[in-house]
Structure 1
Amino acid sequence: MDLDLGQLRALEATVTAGSLDGAARALHVTPSAVSQRLKALETATGRVLLVRSKPVRVTESGQAVLRLARQIALLAADAARELVGEERITLPIAVNADSMATWVLPALAPLAGELAFDLHREDQERTAALLRDGRVMAAVTADAEPVPGCAVTRLGGMRYRPMATAAAADRWFPDGVTVAALARAPVVVFDRADDLQHRYLRQRGVDPAAPPLHLVPASADYVSAVRLGFGWGMVPAQQEPAGELVDLDPDGAVDVVLYWQQWKLRTPSLDRVADAVLAAARDALDHDAPGRS
C-alpha cells in the first residue's frame, strides 16, 4: 500500500476531534476536503476505517491505520523538535485513576515543560483497549498480555485494603467482617467499572449485588467518602490517610499488578516518558505483589 501522509493526518485529526468538522478546523481545510482524503485512504487500504457516527468510531481495520498515522506524527514531531527546537509534542497516555492521583503525575511533572500530555483516565482493566484502538501511545494497565505492536514492562502492585472509619466499623461490623455484615454494610465504589470491592466480596462469599453502593468517581473524593463514613471501601496503600481509617480485614488485601505498555516505536519523547514512569514505579509500587511477569 502507498499511503499518503495527508490522508493519514486526516484520519488522525478526525478521530482526535471526533468529527469531520473538527478535523477540518484543526487542519485548516474544508470538511469536504477531509472527507475526500478519508475516502481516498479507505480506497488505498481497501477497508472501511471509520464509522461516521457522532463521535466517529474507528473500525478494527482503522485501528491499525490510526496507530500508523500517530506513529508517523510522533516521529515527525520529534524530528522537527531536533531540527528546530520549538516543536511541542503531545503524548496521549492512558492511566488508571489511583495511579494518576498518587505517583504518575509527579513522575511526569519534570517533563511537562517540554512535552504536552493528553491523559486519558480509565480503569486499569480497560486502558489497554485505548492502546489497541490507537487512541493512546502508552498505558498503565493491568493487562500483562501485550497489545499488538506494543511492548510490556511490569511496574509493580498497588495493594488495596478494606477500610472504614472506626465509627463505621463499630456500626456495621460489631462482630467483625462476617458474611452477614458485608451483605448489609454500605460500600463505596469508584464507578460501575470498578471491580475491586466486588472482587473482595466474592472472595468472602458475598453476592456483590447485596450491599448498598455509593458511587464516587474521583480518586481523592473516593477516599474522602470513606473518611466521612459513607461506608467501607478498598483504599490503596498510597492513599491511606494516617490514623484515620481502620483495616477491617488484615488478611483481605487485594493486589492489582500494573504494567506499562507502549508502542514498540522508539522515539526520544516516548523513551523519556517511559524512563520517568518506570523510575517512579520502582519507588511507589509493591514489587512483591503476585502477578504475571
Structure 2
Amino acid sequence: MDLPLEQVRTLLAVVDEGTFDAAAAALQVTPSAVSQRVKALEQRTGRVLLQRTKPVRPTDSGAVLVRFARQLARLEQDAWGELGLSGAGRPTRVPVAVNADSLATWFLPALTRVAGLCFELHREDEDHTAALLREGLVMAAVTSSPDPVPGCTVRPLGRMRYLPVAAPEFVRVHLAGRPLPDALPGAPVVVFDRKDDFQDGFVRRLGRDSAGPLRHHVPTSEGFLDAVAAGLGWGMVPEVQADPLLDEGRLVLLAPDAWMDVTLHWQQWKLHSPALAALADAVTATAAEALRR
C-alpha cells in the first residue's frame, strides 16, 4: 500500500497551519479539498490522524505520517539545492524546538552561522521539547534528555548554570535574619509557568518541600529576569543573565555555594540532510563557547 504524496503533504499543511482553512489557503485549494484528502488518507491507513482541535494536533498515528511528510519535504529541498536550483522559489524551512532561556542567551547566534535556511522556532521547556520531535512537529530540538527520541540522534551541548538570586530590597524584607532553608518556602517566588518546577527543586535541595505558594508566573526569559530584579520574588536565573546584574548590585546571590545545572542536548532526525548537518554543527560550536562543559 502506497501513501499518496498529495494527501501526506496536505496532512502536514494542516498540522503546520493549525486549521483546515489555513491549510487550504497555503496550498491554494478549497477547504473541502483539504478535508477530503485528509479523510481519504485516514481511510487508507485505517487510523484517525488528527485531533480536530484548535489548533489541530496529530494523533500518535498522525505524528508518524507528519514526520514522514516533513522528512520527505526536507529531502526534496536538499535535492533542489544539490541540483543548484532554488526549490521553485520556496525557502528551506527548518522547524526547531528550543527552551526559552537558550533562546534568550546563546541559541540565536548559532543560527547566524547557517546561511540559506528559514527557521521556525517553537519555544518549549527543555523537559518537553522532545515531545515535539516525537509528534513530527520539529526536525531538531534543544532538550534536557540524553535519551534519543526514536529515529533521532543526540549530541551533548553543555551545562547551563542557574543561580538563586533576588533583589537586595526583597532580601531585606523577606529573607534577612533567617536561615535560607527556613525563609525561602514562605517568600514570594517567580516561576516561568505552571510546568516550571525549577525553583521547587532548588528548595528541595535545601531540605524543604517546595517554594512558597505566592507565585508570579512570568512566561518569558527576559520578563522572568526583570520580575526578579524588580523585587516581585526570588528565582533561578541563568548565570549569563544574572552576572551583569550581580556586578551592578541589582541582584543578590542567595547562596554563594549553591546553584543548579541543566545539561542540554541536541536531538535531530536521523536524516542525511546537508541543512540539518550544518545546523547541528553551528549549534554545537556555539554551545561549546557559551555553556559550561
Q: Shift of residue 13 of structure 1?
A: 0.3
Partner of 2:279: 273
Aligned to 2:112, the other structure's residue is in SS state helix
CA distance in 2, matches of 1:229, 1:48: 50
In structure 1, distance between residues paired with 2:21 and 2:30: 8
Counterpart for residue 254 of structure 1: 260
* Match in the other structure for 1:178: 180
Per-residue CA shift, 1:122-158, capped at 9, x if unaligned?
A: 1111111111111111000111111111111111111
C-alpha separation in 1, matches of 2:178 and 2:2: 67
Q: Residues 149-175 of structure 1: CA distance to partner in whole angstroms, max 9, x if unpaired?
A: 111111111111111122322322223
Give 1:151's match in structure 2, choosing from 150, 153, 174.
153
- Structure 2 length normalisation: TM-score? 0.92
Q: Kindly provide the amino acid, as one letter, of the partner of residue 255 in structure 2.
A: D
Query: 1:135 corresponds to which residue?
Result: 137
1:160–1:253: 8 Å Cα contact kept in structure 2?
yes
> Per-residue deviation at 1:249?
1.0
What code does the residue aligned with 1:69 have? A
What residue ranges of structure 1 are gaps of 5+ in the alignment? 288-293
Runs of 4 or more consecutive aligned structure 1 residues displaced over 6 Å after TM superposition: none
Alignment of 1:10-89 (within 5 A): 10-83=10-83, 84-85=85-86, 86-89=89-92
Does structure 2 conserve the Cα–Cα contact (< 8 Å) formed by 1:177 and 1:249?
Answer: no
Q: What secondary structure, in the 3-state scheme, does the structure 2 residue paired with 1:120 have?
A: strand
CA contact (8 A) 1:92 1:120 kept: yes
- How many angstroms does 1:177 deviate by? 4.1
Cα distance in 1 between the residues matched to 2:90 and 2:33: 26
Contact 2:126 2:144 in 1 (8 A): yes
- Other structure's SS at 1:240 match: helix
SS at the partner of 1:265?
coil
Choose the corresponding residue for 2:291, options 271, 285, 290: 285
- Output aligned runs, 1:95-174, within 5 Å: 95-111=98-114, 114-174=116-176
Contact 1:131 1:147 in 2 (8 A): yes
C-alpha contact 2:111 2:283 (8 A) present in aligned 1:
yes
- Aligned residues: CA RMSD: 1.6
How big is the shift at 1:209? 5.7
Deviates more, 1:71-80 or 1:160-169: 160-169
Contact between 1:2 and 1:44, CA under 8 Å: does it hold in 2? no
Mapped to 1, the partners of 2:218 and 2:57 lie a distance apart of 28
Aligned-residue offset at 1:100? 0.3
Q: Which blocks of at least 5 consecutive residues in structure 2 are unaligned?
A: none
What SS does the corresponding residue of 1:125 show, helix, strand or coil? Answer: coil
Contact 1:48-1:62 at 8 Å conserved across structures = yes
Look up the match of 2:233: 231
Q: Give 1:17's aligned amino acid.
A: E
Q: Would you say 1:90 and 2:90 are equivalent positions? A: no
Which letter does structure 1 place at the counterpart of 2:146?
A: A
Corresponding residue for residue 290 of structure 1: none
Q: Which residue of 2 aligns with 1:210?
A: 212
Alpha-carbon contact 2:104-2:221 (below 8 Å) kept = yes
**In the alignment, residue 235 of structure 2 is paired with which amino acid?**
G
Secondary structure at the counterpart of residue 278 of structure 2: helix
Question: How high is the TM-score relative to the length of structure 1?
Answer: 0.92
